[in-house]
Chains A and B, each alone.
Chain A
Amino acid sequence: MNHSTAAPFTPGHRAPGPDSSGARLLAGWHATGRPATLADHLRRYGPPPFTGGTPGLVDSVEAAGLTGRGGAGFATARKLRGVMDGRGPAVVVVNAMESEPGSRKDQFLLAVAPHLVLDGAVLAAAEVGADTVHVCLPRTRTAQHRQLGTAVEERRRARLDPVRIRLHALPHGYVSSESTALVRWLDGGPARPQGSPPRSHERGVARRPTLVHNAETLAHLALIARHGPDWFRQAGTVDEPGTTLVTVSGAIAAPGVLEAPLGTPLATLLDRAGGPTGPVRAILLGGFAGTWLPAENVHTPLARRELAPLGASPGAGVLVALPHTACGLTETARMLAFLAAHGARQCGPCRYGLPAVAEDFAALAAGHAHPELLSRLHRRTGLLPDRGACRHPDGAARLAASAMRTFADDVGHHLTHGTCPAAHRPPRIPVPPATPLETWR
C-alpha cells in the first residue's frame, strides 16, 4: 500500500478543527487528522462487544431510537427485528453506494473510520444470525475499494470477526443504491431496483432474510453497542436522537462533511461550513431527490418533525446553498435531466413521466415556455409519485414541485419575459453527465 492512499476522498474536507464538539463518528478523525487503522480504532474504542446473537443489541438500538441515515429514516431496530424473525440464516448488506451526487458523507466516513462501519456491520450480523457481510461499493471509486480492502485484511489477520466480510464493486447508477437493487445484483442480476413483495428482510440475497443498512447507520450502531442508548440520546432531540453526518456545499466558504446533532438549525450547519459567501437565495435539502427551501427557512432545525410541514426531510444529510446570483430553475433542470437519464426504465413513470418533466423543465429554464407549459408540468409532476416500483420518480417529483414553489417568481418571469440574466451564468451545482448507465451488471 502506498501512502498516497491516506486521503483519497474528494477535496473540500476540512482539516480537523476546534469546532469538533459533539463529533462521535468523526471523533477519531478530529483528534488525529488521519484515517484510523485497526490499531488506532481498537485503542480508541476497544474491541467490538460481540454478543454472538444473545438478545441485547436490538433492544439497545431500539432504546437509543436510532433511525437509518441513508435517507428513508426507518427505525433501525425494526429492520433488525424483521430480519431476526425471518426463516433461516441471514445476510447483512452494507449499502455504501452513496449515489446521491451532492453527498460525500459515506465516502468520507469509510475513508476516515472504516472500522466503525465494519464493526457495526459485524455486530448487526452477529445479532441477526448472519454469517456473511456484503459491502457494496460503487465500481467507479477504486481508491475507496482498495482502502477498505486493506481494512478488511487487517481485521482478518487480527481474527477479529466471527463472520466473513466481502467487498463488491457495483455499477454506479443513481438507483443502484436502492436496497432491492443491491440484493438483485448480489444474486447475479442487474443493479436495478426490484418490485416487492417479497421484501428483502423476508427473502433477499440467496433467498435468505437480508438486512440492508447504510454505512453511517451501522457506524452509529457500533457506538451504541459500546456506550449504550443513554449515551446515544445525549445528542439530538427526544424524537430524533443522535448525531448525523451532513454534506454541505454550494455558496459557502468551506464545503465539506460535518457531524452535528439532529435538530441543529440549518443556519448553524451553514455557519459551521464557513458561512455563506454571499446572500443565499435558497437551500436544497436532501440532495437531487430533495426539496428546495426558500432562504427564510434557514432557521429550521434539521429534524423530520420540523421539516415535514415544509415538505422536506433531512434525507441523507445533503445541504446546498444556492447563491442569489444563480438561477434555481436552470439548476433544477440539470438535476432533473440527470435523474431522468438515471432511471432504470422499467416502470412507466420513469420511462415516460420523468423524462417528460425533465424536458418541460428544460424548456422553462431556457425561456422557451408556452402558456400551457406550467399546468402541464404541474399535472405531470403530480403523476410521478407512488407509481414506480421504487421511490425514484417520487424524489424527482419532490425536486420539481419544490422548485416551482420556491422559485415561483422566476417561473413567472421565465414564462413572460424569457430567461433571467442568472440563467446564463455558469451552473453552480455540480451535476454528473446525464447519460444512462452503460451496464447494470
Chain B
Amino acid sequence: MNPNRILRIDRIACTGQGLCGELLPELIDLDEWGYPILKDRIVPDRLRSHTRRAVAACPRLALHTDDT
C-alpha cells in the first residue's frame, strides 16, 4: 500500500507569489493576494510528479508533502 501524500504549506514561510497555484492548479487555488488555498490536501497518485515539481519550485521552501 502506498502511503497517502498530504500537501502542507508553511504559512509563515510562504510569501504568496503564487507559483504553486500556477504549477498545481488541480490542488491549489490562489486568493486575491496570491496566497495559496488548498482545494484538497490529499495528493492523488496521478498528480504525484506535478506535486513534486511544485514543491521543488517554491522559492521559499514553504510547500511540503508529508507521508501518512
Contacts and interface: CB of A to CB of B under 8 A. Distances in A.
Interface in A380-407: 383, 387-389
Most chain A Cβ neighbours within 10 Å, of B12, B16, B35: B12
A347 B15 CA distance: 8
B16 to A, nearest CB: 5
B37 interface: yes
A56 interface: no
Contacts of B31: 348, 352-353, 383
Contacts of A387: 11, 35, 37
Interface string B11-34: 111101000000000000001111
Nearest to B10: A195
Contacts, number: 37
A243 interface: no
Contacts of A352: 31-33, 35
B33 A347 contact: no
Contacts of A171: none
Nearest to A346: B12
Contacts of A353: 31, 33, 35
Contact of A349 (B10, B13, B34, B35): B35
A353 B16 CA distance: 12
Nearest to A349: B35
A389 B33 contact: no
A330 to B, nearest CB: 26
A403 B41 CA distance: 30
A348 B10 contact: no
Interface residues of A, number: 13
A176 interface: no
A132 interface: no
A383 B37 CA distance: 8
A181 to B, nearest CB: 12
B11 A346 contact: yes
A36 B52 CA distance: 60
A194 interface: yes
Nearest to B31: A383
B12 A389 contact: yes
Contacts of B12: 194-195, 346-347, 389
Contacts of B33: 348, 351-353
A388 B35 contact: no
A347 B11 CA distance: 5
A347 B31 CA distance: 13
A389 B62 CA distance: 12
A400 to B, nearest CB: 16
Nearest to A352: B33
Contacts of A388: 11
A103 B26 CA distance: 43
A237 to B, nearest CB: 34
A343 to B, nearest CB: 12
A234 B64 CA distance: 47
Nearest to A390: B11
Nearest to B13: A195
A389 B35 contact: no
Contacts of A389: 10-12
A356 B67 CA distance: 35
B36 to A, nearest CB: 8
A263 to B, nearest CB: 35
A296 B34 CA distance: 41
Interface string A323-354: 00000000000000000000000111101110
Interface in B32-53: 32-35, 37
A347 B14 contact: yes
B44 to A, nearest CB: 21
Interface in A195-236: 195
Contacts of B14: 347-348
Contacts of B37: 383, 387
A346 B35 CA distance: 12
A347 B36 CA distance: 11
A349 B33 CA distance: 9
A238 B13 CA distance: 43
A353 B13 CA distance: 17
Contacts of A346: 11-12
Q: Which 7 pairs, one residue from A and one from B, show the smallest C-beta to C-beta distance?
A: A348-B35, A347-B11, A389-B11, A352-B33, A346-B12, A389-B12, A195-B12
Interface of B: 10-14, 16, 31-35, 37
5 contacts: A195-B12, A346-B11, A347-B11, A353-B35, A387-B37
